[in-house]
Amino acid sequence: MQTQPRPQEWADVTPDTARRLLTAAVQAFAERGYHATTTRDIAARAGMSPAALYIHYRTKEELLHRISGVGHRLALGILDRARASDGTPAERLARAVRDFVRWHAEHHTTARVVQYELGALSAEHHAEIVALRRSSEAAVRQIVEDGVAAGAFRVPDVRGTTLAVLSLCIDVARWFRADGPRTPEEVGELYAGLALRMVGCDDGA
């Protein structure tokens, strides 16, 4: 059960105090929303003074930008590794969906902040995040196009279908409950099969 973001999610954030503030911000944003959270709330959750927070982050928006950047880079890494991996397009699409779904299930608190608070980023930071999202989309679209070119997938609308597959995975963060009936692995497996059906690559089940 995820009550705190998993350590490896923020492993690259140093020093410890900066990482502690980031995980406190994720929890606060997820519970009350970005706009209802103050830097004072975040510092208190991390057991620090507001002054200690400002050593690492000048503004609340800088915390959100950092969270969003880490989340989007992890997502892009997952999808790009699947794109570049060995195997047929069907195997690579299944891998992309399975791993992307698992991430959204296991890190659903972070994923919700990352997905629902995009509008609170500054224009410059928003543009940077949108570029990462476009790269994620391009990675999955490449797998779909490879499948179509190989004659393994039948997809009348490659762009729309790619976005739908990503959307299905992302929405796992909204409804997934750690105490629910399915594990992240089980949802990932189910969704990998559904994604293959969406691209017209039937499993014969």
Binding site for a copy of itself (CB under 8 A): 32-36, 115-116, 154, 156-157, 160-161, 163-164, 167-168, 170-172, 174-175, 182, 187, 190-191, 193-194, 197-198, 200, 202, 205
Give the residue with the Cβ less far from a copy of itself, 10 or 153.
Answer: 153
Q: How far is the CB of 17 from a copy of itself (least distance, A)?
A: 26
Give the residue with the Cβ less far from a copy of itself, 13 or 139.
Answer: 139
C-beta contacts of 162-168 below 8 A and 24+ residues apart: 162/137, 163/137, 164/198, 165/93, 165/97, 165/140, 165/195, 165/198, 165/199, 166/100, 166/136, 166/137, 166/140, 168/194, 168/195, 168/198
Sequence-ordered list of residues with C-beta below 8 angstroms from that of 131, at least 6 positions apart, any chain: none
Q: Report the alpha-carbon distance of residue 141 to residue 171 in Å, rounded.
A: 19
- Closest among 66, 65, 64, 40 to 53, alpha carbons compared: 40
Q: How far is the CB of 123 from a copy of itself (least distance, A)?
A: 16
Give the residue with the Cβ less far from a copy of itself, 7 or 156.
Answer: 156
Q: How far is the CB of 141 from a copy of itself (least distance, A)?
A: 15
Give the residue with the Cβ less far from a copy of itself, 13 or 111.
Answer: 111
Give the residue with the Cβ less far from a copy of itself, 6 or 35.
Answer: 35
Q: How far is the CB of 195 from a copy of itself (least distance, A)?
A: 9
Q: How far is the CB of 136 from a copy of itself (least distance, A)?
A: 13
Structure-token pair, residue 28: 């606060």
